[in-house]
Structure 1
Amino acid sequence: MKSPEDPVDHARTTRPHAGESMTDTKNMPALIVIGVALASFVGALAAHATNHHSTGLVFGSVSAVLLAIGLVWLAVEHRRVRGIEQRWYAEHPDAQKQRPSS
């Protein structure tokens, strides 16, 4: 069963992490932060295009920081999911272990 507590699909697919970013709802804040970073980047481009360079630098800096935070969050969550998967395989030694696709 796929849920935030165990987002790995153990039975129905050859790709157990397929759709992980959508089924693991603990990833959603990171995806939102990355979306805000993208909007901030677009704002930085617009500010530089209209010769508001100080505003563009602020938006660009905010964008870089938010992107870094979002990517680190996704990496930590993916590592958590991989740990859950390893514990599941340890509890089910008869299950055929699938090669990770991510």
Structure 2
Amino acid sequence: MKGAHHDPIDHSRTTQQHAGESFIDTLWLPGLWLIGLGVVTIAGMLAAMAYQHDEWLLPLCLVAGALVTAGGLLVALEHHRVKRVEERWFADHPDRRPHLPTS
């Protein structure tokens, strides 16, 4: 979807506007890649433990923690940006505010 990073919210076709947010908004990708690299680093840490290379455990643990934390932070920041875009859109279109379902 070209240009979806400007307004990745589906305003017209669903009542759950954020259902496919991570697929539509490509600005999530750096955070997802960092989380993926962190998971691969955790696998390397487990391999270092299995082969008894204890000198690699602490550096791999620190790198994995930093990668997963940075990736999660980027994903959270992008989600907050999307929420700000959504609130701005609702301010411009007050008649289109979604009705929350009652249970």
The alignment's TM-score, normalised by the length of structure 1, stands at: 0.90
Counterparts of 2:36 and 2:99, CA distance in 1:
32
Please list every run of 5 or more consecutive structure 2 residues that lacks an aligned counterpart in the other structure. Answer: none
Q: Which moved more, 1:8-17 or 1:89-98?
A: 89-98
Q: Which consecutive residues of structure 1, in runs of 5 or more, have no partner in the other structure?
A: none
Could you say which residue in structure 2 is the equivalent of 1:24? 25
Partner residue in 1 for 2:80? 79
SS of the residue 1:6 aligns to: coil
> Once the two structures are superposed, what CA deviation does each residue of 1:15-73 show, in whole Å capped at 9, x if it has no partner?
10011111111110111111000000000011011111121221111000000000000
Q: Report the equivalent of 1:14.
A: 15
Which amino acid in structure 2 is aligned with residue 13 of structure 1? T
> Sequence identity of aligned pairs in percent?
41
User: 2:46 and 2:99 mapped to 1: Cα distance?
Assistant: 44
Displacement after TM superposition at 1:96 (Å): 2.9
CA distance in structure 2 between the aligned counterparts of 1:98 and 1:29, rounded to whole angstroms: 33
2:68 maps to a residue whose letter is L
Structure 1 contact 46–56 (Cα < 8 Å) conserved: no
Instruction: Give the root-mean-square deviation of aligned CA atoms.
Output: 1.5
CA distance in 2, matches of 1:20, 1:75: 12
Q: Is 1:41 aligned to 2:74, yes or no?
A: no
Dislocated runs of 4+, deviation >3 Å: none
CA distance in 1, matches of 2:57, 2:24: 35
Number of aligned residues: 99
